[in-house]
Amino acid sequence: MTDQADLPDLAPQRSDHERERKLKLRAFRGLRCYIDMVDGGRGYHCPVCGYEGRFSPVRQKPDLWCPACDSRPRHRLLKLWMNRELQLPASARVLHFAAEPWIGDWFAPRVAEYVTADINDKFDLQLDMTAIDLPDARYDVIIANHVLEHLDDRKALAELYRVLAPGGMVILSVPLVDGWDETYEDPSITDPEDRLIHFTDRTHLRLYGRDFPDRVAAAGFTVRAFTAHEPDVSRHALQRGEKIFVGRKPA
Residue 55 binds Zn ion, judged by CB under 5 A: no
Rounded CA separation 47/77 (Å): 8
CA distance 166 to 171: 15
| Residue from 48, 99, 163, 244 in contact with Zn ion (CB under 5 A) | 48
Closer CB to Zn ion, residue 68 or residue 134?
68
Tell me: does residue 66 bind Zn ion (CB under 5 A): yes
Least Cβ distance, residue 189 to Zn ion (angstroms): 36
Burial class (CB within 10 angstroms; exposed 0-12, middle 13-18, buried 19+) of 84: exposed
* Helix H or strand E segment including 84: helix 73-85
Q: Do β-strands 164-173 and 139-145 pair in parallel, antiparallel, or remain unpaired? A: parallel
The residue at minimum Cβ distance from Zn ion is 46
- Judged by DSSP in three states, 178 sits in coil
- Residue 238 found at the interface with Zn ion (CB under 5 A): no
One-letter amino acid of 172: L
Q: Which is closer to Zn ion, CB of 82 or CB of 127?
A: 82
Q: Does 119 bind Zn ion (CB under 5 A)?
A: no
Q: Identify which range of 32-40, 67-75, 117-125, 157-165 contacts Zn ion by CB under 5 A.
A: 67-75
* Of 45, 57, 63, 69, the one binding Zn ion by CB under 5 A: 69
To Zn ion, the closest distance from the beta carbon of 251 in angstroms equals 35
State the Cα–Cα distance between residues 22 and 124, nearest whole angstrom.
28
Question: Which spans in 98-245 are helix H?
Answer: 101-107, 153-163, 192-199, 212-217, 232-236
Question: What is the spatial distance between Cα 251 and Cα 29, in angstroms, rounded to a whole number?
Answer: 47
Residues 2-21 that bind Zn ion (CB under 5 A): none
Secondary structure (3-state) at 128:
strand
Among residues 56, 71, 116, 145, the one that binds Zn ion under rule CB under 5 A: 71
Nearer to Zn ion, 49 or 119 (CB): 49
Q: Which stretch binds Zn ion (CB under 5 A): 6-14, 66-74, 159-167, 188-196?
A: 66-74
Q: Does 64 engage in binding with Zn ion (CB under 5 A)?
A: no
Rounded to a whole number of angstroms, the distance between the first and last alpha carbons of the chain is 64
Choose which of 32, 33, 36, 46 interacts with Zn ion (CB under 5 A): 46
Number of residues counted as binding Zn ion (CB under 5 A): 8
Q: Which residues bind Zn ion (CB under 5 A)?
A: 46, 48-49, 51, 66, 68-69, 71
